[in-house]
Structure formats: structure tokens, C-alpha cells
Amino acid sequence: MTNWKKFLTEKILRECWHGVDELGDIYCCKKCGKARLSISLGEGRSTDNRTFDNQNDMMELYRYIYEDGKWTEFTDSVFKYYKDDPTAEIFDAWLFCLVNEDYESRCKMVAEFYGLEEEKK
């Protein structure tokens, strides 16, 4: 099962994903040589990966889609998410989370748009 946050970080935003090894220790990134600390993973371990649960991360993804020349294709494809949401009376307000703070679902939508299959429960 692919980590959707890692997928968005590495494949879409072309940034380093700083992970944790099998023992739970932070490893040094082979690309940038860093293992920065900021987000707690519990038991004193942390990393600075994007969380994709905030407006800044969502907007970075939207900016990437626009610069990738796929904005129209993307907005056409989001209907399956948009159609059942009662807060989606105005598409732009829904897409940019102006009526709530459901940034994570919009980020997952971008991962799926770029080919990551939704995780099976």
C-alpha cells in the first residue's frame, strides 16, 4: 500500500520525504542529506514531512496542477468528489475549502488524479 503523503511529496511536489526506518529511527535522506525535526511521531521521533492537512499544502498541490497544464482536466475530474458534498453549492468555495477546513480530502483527491489508487479499507 502506497503512502499517499509520500506520493504527493516525492512524485508531485518533487520534494524529499523524510521517513522512519524499520527500527523507528529517523534516517538521513539520501537526496538532501537531512533528517529535520518538527512534527512529532511519538516517542521523541519526528520529521518535517508535509502533513497535507492545511491550506498551504493544498495550495502547493493546486499550483503544481496549474503549472503542469492540467488545471482544466483536474477540475473536470473532481465532479465525483463534488457531487455528493452538501457544502458544494459553489464549486470554487468547495474546491478551495472556503466553507470548511477539509484540506486532507482535497489533497487525497490530487493524489488520485495523478494516478495513486485509493487505499482499500
Condensed to tens digits (0 to 9), the pLDDT of residues 73-116 reads 998 888 777 777 776 678 888 889 988 898 999 999 999 999 99
Of 120 and 78, the structure prediction assigns the larger pLDDT to 78
In the numeric block, the cell 519526528 is attached to 46
List, as one string, the DSSP characters of 17-36.
---B-TTS-B---TTT----
Give the residue among 26, 24, 23 at the shortest CA–CA distance from 35.
26
Tell me the three cell numbers of residue 62. Answer: 493546486
- The tens digit of pLDDT for each residue in 36-49 reads 444 444 444 445 78
Q: Is the pLDDT of residue 70 over 90?
A: yes
